[in-house]
Amino acid sequence: MTYRVGYFVGSLSSTSINRRLSQALISLAPEDLEFTEIPIGDLALYSPDFDGDYPPEAQALKDAIAGSDAVLFVTPEYNRSIPGALKNAIDWASRPYGQNSFDHIPAAVIGASVGSLGTALAQQSLRAVLSFCNARQMTAPEAYVHFRAEDYADDGTVTDEGTAEFLRGFMAEFRDHIQRVLTVLPRP
Ligand code: FNR
């Protein structure tokens, strides 16, 4: 059985360290996880005025989540919280009312920063939002990544063995979490 994981990168930066982290996570993940990025950069700002007629980018977002067995959030911390672009994408996916795309979906959260807090506060904010959206979050292990450029090669390979081991373990736990959630809550 292969599990399809849709992943969000919470940064729109062309030099994003979180995008590099996402590549590292994919390369270290168990073989039965298959990854597709769910893009957030072309979405308009959400308004309930769109609820009767979602624009194509927003419909594509909802379709991508519907086609995923699980979602992974790899995000920076902006001003001790969730980057606006990512929160906007979550708002789109959570609506129209009664059509929340995150209902019961297995989810995991991870993020990297150049500071030592490693996105801990952004992840706390994100977890609160995903909890309201009824996503089934992996609660442990937590992963607050203090990004050191020397630990990663340009192609995303993790050169520091301790970091690689930690990220590999995180993804193995996520795989087990997905399997557990889907056993009792199969995706429609
Ligand atoms: C930041 N940064 C940051 N870092 C942090 O640890 N806590 C924070 O609250 C913030 N706030 C913040 C706000 C804004 C608007 C920016 C642009 C940056 C620094 C941030 O961790 C750093 O820029 C990372 O490189 C961002 O991740 P990406 O975009 O490289 O993936």
Q: Is the pLDDT of residue 156 over 80?
A: no
Is 18 near ligand 1, meaning CB less than 6 Å away?
yes
- Residue 181 and residue 2: Cα distance in Å, rounded? 15
Residue 97 CB neighbour total at 10 angstroms: 8
Pocket flag, ligand 1, residue 117 (CB < 6 Å) = yes
Atom 17 of ligand 1: nearest residue by CA position? 78
d(CA 144, CA 180): 24
Q: Is the pTM of this model over 0.85?
A: yes
Specify the higher pLDDT residue, 138 or 154.
Answer: 138
Which pair of tokens denotes residue 72? 């992974």
- Give the mutation target among 77, 87, 110, 124 for probing the ligand 1 site: most ligand atoms within 8 A of CB: 77
Q: Does the structure show a pLDDT above 80 at 155?
A: no
